[in-house]
């Protein structure tokens, strides 16, 4: 009977250590987006030319790695193989196109026999930023096949045949899911959302309003074809984190916070619309994957918050989010 208080004390110490570890990880995540652009993406194309493969890379100048020889860094991070035979890279060149804000590289990969199915290893997230996404198109015109590379998927088999409807659906659904999981700005906001209310019903209301607004704006923005500049989107995303954190700290008893969450969803929906336009994906395939993954991630964060984060830990998390959001916003303004 006397051991019970000691057991409870040990359990409480373990819980406190777990929360402190999570808050330290949150502090690192808060610092992450301020160091790099959160909408980090590049485009590439592969075409068969006899017994060779021709590759073109188009990457925004802001995403080019800061190394003595960015051409070698990028092309070394992109490998083309056939039956475990690595293509011999020839005729490689890179150039800046300041008018378009692009860094364009071209390379030819030679093989001993005409390629029909190849493997590609793309390690751009290792040499740029971890959340970088590379959209690779293989083939031309109507037969072009699209493959998405990111930190969760750096290798893929490539075929130069028209994709089936099922392949398009699974590729774009998976791209939406991976985009949600690897987005630092979205993760920070979902952490803030999980702290926005104390009752489970109110938290789910905030999440529902956020997802609905995000879906509507993403679909509408993609349909209209108008997206604000990436710099504006990043600054707006930073403010959504900072504003919700300030509500948590200074207005803990405020009502109808689901309206605030819905408004924030509009800004994050523009991020998804920008991705859809850049990647030329179908909203009806991409968005269900993204929104379902966001819902699962948010549900996990809400469950952890309700179980472990209360009182001073809630306030400390709010302070970290507020400072991180404001620092991120400030850096984007002075760039």
For the beta carbon of residue 140, count every other beta carbon within 10 angstroms.
12
Which domains can be identified in the chain, with CATH numbers?
23-33+183-334 (no CATH), 41-163 (2.60.40)
SS3 call for 294: helix
Q: Which pTM does this prediction carry?
A: 0.76
pLDDT of residue 94: 93
- Give the list of residues 6+ apart from residue 21 with CB closer than 8 angstroms, or none: none
Residues 6+ positions from 62 with CB-CB distance below 8 Å: 37, 101
pLDDT at 12 (0 to 100)? 56
Signed CA dihedral, 264, 267, 271, 272: sign only: positive
pLDDT tens series, the chain, 335 aa: 444 554 556 555 555 554 544 544 554 455 455 445 567 889 999 988 877 889 999 998 888 888 889 999 999 999 998 887 788 888 899 999 888 889 999 999 988 777 777 899 999 988 988 888 899 988 765 567 888 898 888 999 888 778 888 988 998 999 899 888 888 888 888 988 888 887 888 889 999 999 999 999 998 887 777 677 777 888 888 888 888 888 888 887 778 889 999 999 998 998 888 888 888 888 899 999 999 999 999 998 888 888 776 667 777 877 888 887 888 777 766 76
Torsion of CA 300, 306, 308, 311, to 10 degrees: 140
Best CA proximity match to 153, nearest among 184, 129, 132: 132
Give helix 3-31 / helix 283-308 axis angle, nearest 10°: 140
Q: CA torsion 105→110→114→115, rounded to 10°?
A: -50
Q: What pLDDT is recorded for position 216? A: 93
């Amino acid at each position: 009977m006397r051991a019970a208080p000691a057991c409870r004390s040990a359990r409480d110490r373990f819980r406190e250590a777990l929360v402190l570890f999570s808050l330290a990880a949150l502090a690192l995540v808060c610092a992450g987006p301020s160091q790099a652009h959160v909408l980090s993406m590049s485009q590439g194309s592969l075409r068969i030319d006899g017994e060779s493969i021709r590759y073109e890379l188009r990457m925004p100048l802001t995403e080019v790695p800061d190394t003595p020889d960015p051409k070698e860094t990028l092309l070394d991070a992109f490998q083309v193989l056939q039956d475990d035979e690595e293509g011999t890279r020839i005729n490689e060149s890179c150039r800046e196109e300041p008018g378009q804000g692009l860094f364009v590289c071209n390379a030819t990969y030679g093989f001993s026999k005409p390629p029909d199915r190849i493997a590609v290893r793309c390690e751009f997230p290792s040499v740029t930023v971890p959340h970088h996404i590379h959209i690779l198109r293989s083939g031309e015109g109507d037969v072009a096949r699209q493959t998405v590379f990111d930190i969760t998927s750096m290798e893929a088999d490539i075929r130069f045949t028209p994709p089936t409807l099922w392949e398009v659906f699974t590729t774009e659904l998976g791209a939406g899911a991976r985009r949600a999981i690897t987005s630092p700005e979205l993760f920070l906001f979902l952490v803030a959302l999980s702290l926005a209310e104390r009752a489970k019903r109110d938290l789910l209301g905030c999440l529902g309003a956020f997802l609905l607004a995000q879906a509507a704006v993403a679909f509408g923005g993609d349909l209209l074809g108008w997206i604000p500049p990436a710099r504006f989107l990043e600054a707006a995303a930073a403010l959504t984190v900072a504003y919700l954190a300030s509500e948590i700290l200074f207005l803990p008893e405020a009502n109808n916070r689901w309206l605030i969450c819905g408004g924030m969803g509009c800004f994050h929906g523009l991020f998804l619309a920008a991705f859809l336009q850049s990647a030329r994906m179908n909203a009806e395939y991409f968005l269900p994957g993204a929104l379902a993954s966001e819902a699962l991630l948010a549900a996990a964060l809400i469950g952890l918050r309700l179980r472990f984060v209360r009182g001073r830990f809630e306030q400390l998390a709010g302070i970290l989010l507020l400072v991180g959001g404001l620092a991120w916003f400030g850096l984007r303004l002075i760039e």
